Structure 1
Amino acid sequence: MPIELKMPALSPTMEEGTLAKWLVKEGDEVKSGDLLAEIETDKATMEFEAVDEGVIAQILVAEGTDNVKVGTVIAVIAGEGEDASAAKAAPAAEPKAETPAPASAKDVAPAEAGAAPVSAPTPAVPASAGTTKDGDRIKASPLAKRLAAEQGIDLKGVTGTGPGGRIVKADLEGAPKGAAAPAAATAAPAPAAAAPAPAAAGAIPDFGIPHEDEKLSGMRKTIARRLSQSMQESPHIYLTVDIRLDALLKLRGELNASLESRGVKLSVNDMLIKALAVALERVPSCNVSFGGDVMRQYKRADISVAVSIPGGLITPIIVDAGGKSMSKISTEMSELAAKAKEGKLQPNEYQGGTASISNMGMMGIKQFTAVINPPQAMIMAIGAGEKRPYVVDDALAIATVMSATGSFDHRAIDGADGALLMKTFKELVENPLGLVA
């Protein structure tokens, strides 16, 4: 019996994907574990492996096809000893349903799925155009009927030359014409020609400005949907602190000198990931998710780190960042960032997380607010470290300072708890030895 290959759900939230590339062709033999195709989800490109053995009898969805729903049959495999040509024909015949016998309106159940209500009467076709006097139906193409109605031609006197004696447009040439007014009077009113078609939801009006439209990727659609959901559903509260970086930068230099032989180089962001995780462990009331009628309290801090990639943004996760050394965080972050930019992250590497961090300091952004990544309840936005006038030991001095802004879901986190987290984060960064203890 033919085996149907269906579009797989490569993540718990996947509803559709792009069949980016076929790695096999019709006639190829495959066995369990062989790579069949590359599937592009909203976050990554993943490889689809064969489970069954056989021959690829037919490929039903071409590579490059977008918006393929999960569960759609994309190919057919002929099993061992099975005729591939017979297997190829099977899926084409399977979806076809038997054509029901014609039924009168009163015999059609109004509750049929997808059926139009039968109570709505259809516009009557003029007798001269589509029926004889005694109600017998005249075989004519829709175009011929319309032209006959417009020109006042009685189809009863026209001989059809189409299939089965069907009247077509050519048969109307030379036919006697009458007044078109009566037919027009009984025809269904047509919509006004000048009325513009309604614009699709979210469509951009055309103002005549030269432009080029680019089709949205699945990733960009997901980003738009999730961020809109976050701003609509999560009441954001923003809290900002200024943090001296001098001690952290000094410790980073010392640690990198000792780690050089191991090929590890800590970034400021690696150290801030650790600081946020430790702060969440010390202020567990901020390491939560709001669930309508429940509050989920997490037992460890998994930090989602915003990484910019071509076409969008993805958040690989450092699992249990509070329990890992900064050198381990640095190594994992380098590997995850590389996989993210190649589109090779696995779902477990970017789905989940208890809080997020987004650092735009390397782009010179002094301060910004970030949108919470649901179902998380907070995200830390990191600005650039820069030389600023700063009061040190009651005296004005020059210090390297950055601004950090926490965005909190006010349904889950009270302002006082958010403020305590920001205070704890500031203390850890300004006294960074606590991060290596």
Structure 2
Amino acid sequence: DISDLISEKPARPAGGSSDKKIKENNSKEEKSSDEKGSEESERSSSVAELPEGVEVITMPRLSDTMTEGTVASWLKKEGDKVEEGDILAEIETDKATMEFESFYSGTLLKIGVGEGESASVDALLAIIGPKGTDVSGVAENFKSAGKSSSKEGKSSNEEKEEEKQNSGTDSKKEEPQKETSSVKKSESSPSTNEGRIFASPLAKKLAEEKGINLRQVRGSGENGRIVKSDIENYQPATGGGQAYVPVGTESFEEVKNSQMRKTIAKRLAESKFTAPEYYLTVELDMDHAIASREAINADPDVKISFNDMVIKACAMALRKHPQVNSQWTPEATRIAKHIHIGVAVAVDEGLLVPVLKFADQMTFSQIGAQVKELAGKARNKKITPQEMEGSTFTVSNLGMFGITEFTSIINQPNSAILSVGAIVQKPVVKNGQIAVGNSMTVTLACDHRTVDGATGAKFLQTLRQYIENPVTMFV
């Protein structure tokens, strides 16, 4: 009877080590559950131990591809009061440098990532809470929890890399003096012409705006990296002279727009954005015009200006080229049979354009007298609306201010405006010889809807004939 023997001991599998394996498995399961429980309790304790009113701010994910961020600069420092909406820091991502604002109010109790340093997304960035709150334990628990959770997801390759880094750290510890001197060198010496310059995108942008050579800047960031504050605090080497420190207060004065200013803005904007204008420029020989003016002004009762001569020449040229003396309408082009020349006059509030009616019928002296009268009325605010209506062509002259060449915006409904520059002496070729000549540049702005390029060019040819030979205007 062997029943007693069978009931006393169960049969063992081959190998005889089943009890040992069971114990080992049970031990591993208990250890694993203990570790998980430890980690969970560690995380929960960090949350549970968070003092009242304290908020932990982590590195934000500012773009879809962002895995870590670099603090370019802190706009608040530890101990500063923070209001909701205040900008805490500037954070560099893989795409741009962005401002990071606070969603809480309180005191900045702890900065977790220094300027120029990088941290992964969700790493401790800062702690905000009531003033005087001790958050040293919170910061330490946060770091511990972060380390343990990061270990859970590490692959074997990452563990090998960590071991490699640790072994590198051990070897560095063996030569502390050598490492220290190397770090000091990178921090204290400016970048040289050899090798790559390590600088944040924001620092590079500021350096470019200020014209600073990054190779002359000492970086205060990690491993000598140049950050925003390095550029802001950069002082170029000088020969012992004191660096200029800008002082002053930025300010503005708001001047209410007058009705004249509003009208000028409205009309010129309409002209600029509705008329397809183009410009034609010619240089005129003024030697004969100067001689003619001197001869005319020799009469003590007559005084004319070069501008008077230009107005008369324009009126005469418009007779031969009536297409330039036109107005555009959606239904038809109106060609004026009369010639009314508008003359731009600068006043304190802006610009007025008195009109010389039937200018082609006036003499030089009549033009000069009427321009003087109307300009005086305009400057004294006594000109009437009727005296500024009905122009068919406009002349603008800035030559008295030393302006040699410029373009004007068409004074609609006119189709053209002539810009007149100053008379200047310059070397010119006359009869195959270089001589000193007197030249004046004029530019005609034309509305292409009514005046084609060839038409405008022919008008300037006629104008040239009249101004370069003023006697022809008397024929």
TM-score normalised by L of structure 1: 0.51
Is 1:224 matched with 2:265? yes
Shift of 1:375: 0.4
SS in 1 for 2:278: strand
**Residue 252 of structure 2 corresponds to which residue in structure 1?**
211
Q: Is the 8 A contact 1:241 1:403 kept in 2?
A: yes
- 1:388 deviation in Å? 1.2
Distance across 1 between alignment mates of 2:330 and 2:430: 45
Q: Distance in 1 between matches of 2:303 and 2:347?
A: 22
Structure with the largest fraction of helix: 2
Give how far 1:233 is off: 0.3
**Residue deviations 1:113-147, cap 9 Å, x none?**
xxxxxxxxxxxxxxxxxxxxxxxxxxxxxxxxxxx
SS at match of 1:221: helix
Q: Give the 3-state SS of the residue equivalent to 1:296 in structure 2.
A: strand
Of the three residues 279, 284, 304, the one matched with 1:243 is 284
- Take 1:375 and 1:394, find their aligned partners in 2: how far apart are those partners? 45
Residue 374 of structure 1: SS of its match in structure 2? coil
| Change in CA separation of 1:334 and 1:215 when aligned onto 2, cut-off 3 Å | same
Give distance in 1, aligned partners of 2:434 and 2:318: 32
Decide whether the 8 Å contact of 1:389 with 1:398 is kept in 2: yes
Confirm or deny that 1:365 pairs with 2:366.
no
The residue aligned with 1:148 is: none
Once the two structures are TM-superposed, the CA of residue 361 in structure 1 deviates from its matched residue by 0.5
In structure 1, give the amino acid aligned to 2:352: I
Matches within 5 A, 1:201-350: 209-258=250-299, 260=300, 262=301, 264-350=302-388
Report the Cα distance in structure 2 between the residues aligned to 1:367 and 1:256, rounded to whole angstroms: 27
CA distances 1:304-356 after superposition (whole Å, capped 9, x unpaired): 00000111000111111111111111111111111010111111111111000
Give the letter for the 2:289 counterpart.
L
Q: Hey, what's the Cα distance between the residues in 1 that align with 2:316 and 2:266?
A: 31
SS at match of 2:422: coil
* Residue type of the alignment partner of 2:448: H
**Equivalent-residue separation in structure 2 for 1:289 and 1:390 (angstroms):** 38
Contact 1:289 1:296 in 2 (8 A): yes
Q: How many residues align?
A: 227
Rounded to whole Å, the distance in 2 between the matches of 1:314 and 1:410 is 25
Shift of 1:395: 2.3
Is 1:432 aligned with 2:473?
A: no
5+ residue gaps, structure 2, are 1-248
After superposition, the C-alpha distances for 1:238-269 in whole angstroms (9 at most, x for unaligned) are 000000111011111111112x1x3x310110
1:394, CA displacement in angstroms? 2.7
Distance of 1:383 and 1:346 partners within structure 2 = 29
Take 1:247 and 1:425, find their aligned partners in 2: how far apart are those partners?
Answer: 14
Q: Deviations over 1:396-424 (max 9, x none)?
A: 22110010000000011000000001111
**Higher RCO (Cα < 8 Å, 6 or more apart):** 1
Alpha-carbon distance between aligned partners in 2 of 1:394 and 1:402, rounded to the nearest angstrom: 21
Q: In structure 1, give the amino acid aligned to 2:291.
A: K
Q: Is the CA contact (8 Å cut-off) linking 1:307 and 1:337 kept in structure 2?
A: yes
Q: Deviations over 1:148-199 (max 9, x none)?
A: xxxxxxxxxxxxxxxxxxxxxxxxxxxxxxxxxxxxxxxxxxxxxxxxxxxx
Give the distance between the partners of 1:233 and 1:336, measured in 2 at CA: 30
Deviation at residue 434 of structure 1 after TM alignment: 1.6
Counterpart CA distance in 1 for 2:304 and 2:384 is 25
Residue type matched to 1:281 in 2? R
Q: Percent identity?
A: 39
Residue type at the aligned position of 2:296? L
- For the pair 1:384 / 2:425, whether they are aligned, the reply is no
Question: Cα offset for 1:436?
Answer: 2.7
Indicate the SS of the match to 2:297.
helix
The two structures have a TM-score, normalised by structure 2, of 0.47
Is 1:288–1:298's contact at 8 Å kept on the other side of the alignment?
yes
1:352 matched to 2:352? The reply is no
Distance 1:338 1:412 in 2: 33
SS at match of 1:222: helix
Name the residue aligned to 2:19: none
Distance 2:382 2:459 in 1: 34
Q: Distance in 2 between matches of 1:373 and 1:283?
A: 19
Deviation at 1:435, TM superposition (A): 2.0
Deviations along 1:186-232, whole A, 9 cap, x unmatched? xxxxxxxxxxxxxxxxxxxxxx9411000011111100000100010
Q: Once the 2 structures are TM-superposed, how far is the Cα of residue 391 of structure 1 from its aligned partner?
A: 1.7
Residues of 2 paired with 1:394 and 1:290: CA distance?
45
Post-superposition CA distance 1:273-296 (Å, at most 9, x none): 001110111111111111112111
Q: Deviations over 1:40-78 (max 9, x none)?
A: xxxxxxxxxxxxxxxxxxxxxxxxxxxxxxxxxxxxxxx
Give distance in 2, aligned partners of 1:339 and 1:427. Answer: 33
Write the distance in 1 (CA, Å) between the matches of 2:294 and 2:328.
Answer: 40
Contact 1:325/1:436, CA 8 A, preserved across alignment: no
Structure 1 stretches lacking a partner, 5+ long? 1-207
